[in-house]
Structure 1
Amino acid sequence: MGAIQALRGTKDILPEEVGYWQLIEDKAREILAKAVYQEIRTPIFEQTDLFERGIGEATDVVGKEMYTFTSRGGDKSITLRPEGTAGVVRSFIENNLYAQGGVQRLWYTGAMFRYERPQAGRQRQFHQIGLELLGSSSPRADVEVIALATDLLQSLGLKSLKLDLNSVGNGEDRQNYREALVHYLIPYKQELDQDSQDRLTRNPLRILDSKDEKTQKIAQNAPKIIEHLGDESKRHFDTVQQLLTDLGIEYQINHCLVRGLDYYTHTAFEIKSDDLGAQATVCGGGRYDGLVAELNGPDTPAVGWAIGMERLVLLLKQLQQAPVHQPDFYLISRGKQAEAQALVLSQKLRSLNFTVELDLSGSAFGKQFKRADRSGAVACLVIGDAEAVNQTVNLKWLASGEQTAVAQTQLLSSAEKLNQKIQQLRSP
């Protein structure tokens, strides 16, 4: 039998790349904590009905892309989550989070699953960071979440960012617009790509989001949803634009921006980067005031976004080297008693918050010293037969080559001074 390989559309995240992922996650925790968002973790599979009702049966996600299977008992249809919002809303309802009153600010990170053609930055198992603000219909909530996404992306060093903005109005606005859009598109039906022809009766707004060039040209002259907004929706959208201006966040109106899921209302937005070519969208989101009620919860306005981790990592690779976690000490030993002492010493140093790589090879000192040089450690600690007998350790600063013999107890008791010297030597 041949070697077992990862399935198509899945990808190992190897140690040399994990640093980018940790950087993104750490920045997200830092920035969202300042705005008092709390992390929530939901299951990666849910009842299929959650996504059919929440996302919409006429969407591509539900119609073509979900991984759905029957439970082993044969009584339930189960789906691997294709996005994060529906699961968070289900948890919000099931756990009565709304009973706490006020606004709930939640964020999540994890794997999602969609069956589509794998490409750079897009896998069948992919990962997102997202947030959901539930309980406020204020335009300020829309702008808060946009501002936090902008803060996160800029804190990671991204500069060539563009915010696309649109309003998809409320249900009545969309119905009026849907009729106008279909009326405009019907004469062009045979010129539309096949997917758009199918959407003409099921989900015509999604035609505006088509990637087919000919369909895009036709859509450019279509009626604009902004022209079909009621007074309330216009006021909401005008306020969002003014608040973004107040914060100094630049944006452009994209009349073809509708987002791919049925639950969106009012504000829809995407943040794009020029550096990713055709797959330019890094963050997408908007308001979804009807979703909680659609899933049998109380009438609760909400707004949120999701950032694709894989695409963001692609961008970061162009901007910077992966963060490297180098050890403070590389600990070398040879001989039975020395190796036992080295293990104990490494654990004691780690308990004092030092990063220690213990050489477990048992090879000759020369080979261990070469590995110490390659490790990026600031200092090397050496225990041989003589040091083991005397309970000492040889401390060698790798950059200068300076070395001294130190009692192991003294090394541990001078942890504060050692840490200060390590930080000084690490400084550029």
Structure 2
Amino acid sequence: MNINVPRGTEDLLPEATKKWQVIEDKLNHLAQVYNYKEIRTPIFERTELFQRSVGDTTDIVQKEMYTFEDRGGRSLTLRPEGTASVARAYVQHKMHGSPAQPAKLYYIGPMFRYERPQQGRTRQFTQFGIEAIGSASPAIDAEVMAFAMDCYQELGLKSLKLVINSLGDQESREAHRNALIEHFKPVKEDLCSDCQNRLERNPLRLLDCKVDRDHEAMQTAPSILNYLNEESSQYFEGVKKHLDAMGISYVVDDTLVRGLDYYTHTAFEIMSEAEGFGAITTLSGGGRYSGLIDELGGPDISGIGFALSIERLIMALDAEGVNLDKDESVDCFVIAIGDEAKYTSSNVVNQLRKSGVKADQDYLDKKVKGQFKSADRVGATYAVIIGEEELANGVANVKNLKTGDQKTVETDQIAKEIKSGF
């Protein structure tokens, strides 16, 4: 019986992981440029963490989490997103006590959601994300959005759109919440069952509904921007001024809401406008959260972050025809002629690698012609040929396979000659 990968997961073979490595290297480098430090959290957490932080009215908690009991009867969940785990670690390890504030953190790793698999949406997916916790400045909001845009632009994407909105503070959200309830009450029975259930508990989530998005009531729903108090309005204006100062283009969309309950004030998404990308154009999203750290037992401070799916990033790269080339050729292929030469070959390969030279050799007992073909197949620049005569004299023939030049060198000088680039 053949055993294949579970539905909604995939194997990434070497041809695919080349592209992933280029992306991961770029993202890690950007994090250093922006002075964010890596944090690694467990793949599973206590279920309560996501119920309290993500929100028990969200699709993630209600429908999409992989939850199980361990042998001690404790409810655990494979992490569906990264912010909750980072916030939990921030509180648990009292990172708020450090003088280096805000804490600027980034993560990369697998997340899990039980969704209907489709292009760009898998049940195990990889997120890269950042969190800046401990500052309530509009400037850090703009920095996070600049970082998010750079993640795509530095990899060569051009067809991008930054969409922003403000969800306001708690007072503004409460005023908007009441207006939404009054607006949707008369048409409650026309809405899907999820929207009916959420109307009283979390009406903002109705604006993010994929089933009722074309309903007339959605088009005429009260705008959050009309309910921002003076403080929230000034904060949003500050965010926009910082973006303007940085030369970052954006579009304000008052219908933009994020799917997690912990967001307040700034919310944003980055979308692909590339032709042929697909119906779901959102590449990544994020926003500011207030109350999350406090909810998890920490101080009353806020943070902001974003997360992107590497799978969807790769889709966008493909849609724009961006190729991420990575040189995987080896510097040198060692060719052994005769049984005794094989032992010396192993030693030479080992010493080359210790010197930082990418080296390989034959492991299939191929003839000399076959070994040269193997050298060509791995893109080797040099071939080191060791036969009986070379063994007797403690030397090897080093051939530049690109130019045809060849010289005889002492065995312990091979790495030096290859690095010299003759």
Tell me whether the two structures share a fold, i.e. TM-score over 0.5.
Answer: yes
Deviations 1:16-73 (A, max 9, x none): 1112211121111211112221100000111111000011101110011001111111
Alignment match, 2:227: 228
* C-alpha deviation, 1:201, in angstroms: 3.0
Partners of 1:287 and 1:320 in 2: CA distance: 33
**Contact 1:333/1:362 (CA < 8 Å) preserved in 2?**
no
Deviations 1:141-174 (A, max 9, x none): 1011111111221111011110010001112211
* C-alpha deviation, 1:213, in angstroms: 6.5
* C-alpha deviation, 1:321, in angstroms: 4.4
**Contact 2:37/2:105 (CA < 8 Å) preserved in 1?**
yes
Does the residue aligned with 2:380 lie in a helix, a strand or coil? Answer: coil
Alignment match, 2:185: 186
Letter in 1 for 2:300: D
Alignment match, 2:20: 21
Alignment match, 1:281: 282
* 2:336 matches 1:337: no
Partners of 1:412 and 1:323 in 2: CA distance: 23
Task: Report % sequence identity.
Answer: 45
Alignment match, 2:93: 95
Per residue, is there more helix in 1 or in 2?
Answer: 1
* C-alpha deviation, 1:130, in angstroms: 0.5
Bigger shift: 270-279 or 228-237?
270-279
Partners of 2:160 and 2:69 in 1: CA distance: 42
Alignment match, 2:404: 401
Partners of 1:391 and 1:64 in 2: CA distance: 69
* 2:350 matches 1:350: no
Alignment match, 2:51: 52
Partners of 2:88 and 2:167 in 1: CA distance: 24
**Contact 2:382/2:418 (CA < 8 Å) preserved in 1?**
no
Q: How does 1:8-407 map to 2 (within 5 A)?
A: 8-74=7-73, 76-101=74-99, 102-212=101-211, 215=214, 218-275=217-274, 276-317=277-318, 318-407=321-410
Partners of 1:343 and 1:261 in 2: CA distance: 56
Q: Which runs of 5+ in 1 are unaligned?
A: 422-428
Letter in 2 for 1:301: S
* C-alpha deviation, 1:322, in angstroms: 4.2
Deviations 1:192-215 (A, max 9, x none): 344333332332212212223653
Bigger shift: 279-288 or 191-200?
191-200
Partners of 2:4 and 2:262 in 1: CA distance: 37
Deviations 1:398-421 (A, max 9, x none): 223333332222323435413xx5
**Contact 1:192/1:215 (CA < 8 Å) preserved in 2?**
no
* C-alpha deviation, 1:324, in angstroms: 3.5
**Contact 1:219/1:256 (CA < 8 Å) preserved in 2?**
no
* C-alpha deviation, 1:216, in angstroms: 5.7
Partners of 2:59 and 2:114 in 1: CA distance: 10
Letter in 1 for 2:409: V
Bigger shift: 192-201 or 248-257?
192-201
Deviations 1:343-392 (A, max 9, x none): 11111111221111222121111111112112112122222233222222
Partners of 1:11 and 1:322 in 2: CA distance: 22
- Shift in CA distance, 297/124, structure 1 to aligned 2, threshold 3 Å: same
Partners of 1:323 and 1:195 in 2: CA distance: 46
- Shift in CA distance, 352/217, structure 1 to aligned 2, threshold 3 Å: farther
Does the residue aligned with 2:316 lie in a helix, a strand or coil? Answer: helix
Alignment match, 1:417: 420
Bigger shift: 246-255 or 391-400?
391-400
Q: Which runs of 5+ in 2 are unaligned?
A: none
- Shift in CA distance, 400/219, structure 1 to aligned 2, threshold 3 Å: same
**RMSD across aligned C-alpha pairs, in angstroms?**
1.6
Letter in 1 for 2:279: A
**Contact 1:210/1:216 (CA < 8 Å) preserved in 2?**
no
- Shift in CA distance, 278/42, structure 1 to aligned 2, threshold 3 Å: same
Partners of 1:204 and 1:287 in 2: CA distance: 19
Bigger shift: 13-22 or 330-339?
330-339
Deviations 1:105-142 (A, max 9, x none): 11110010100011112110111011100110000010
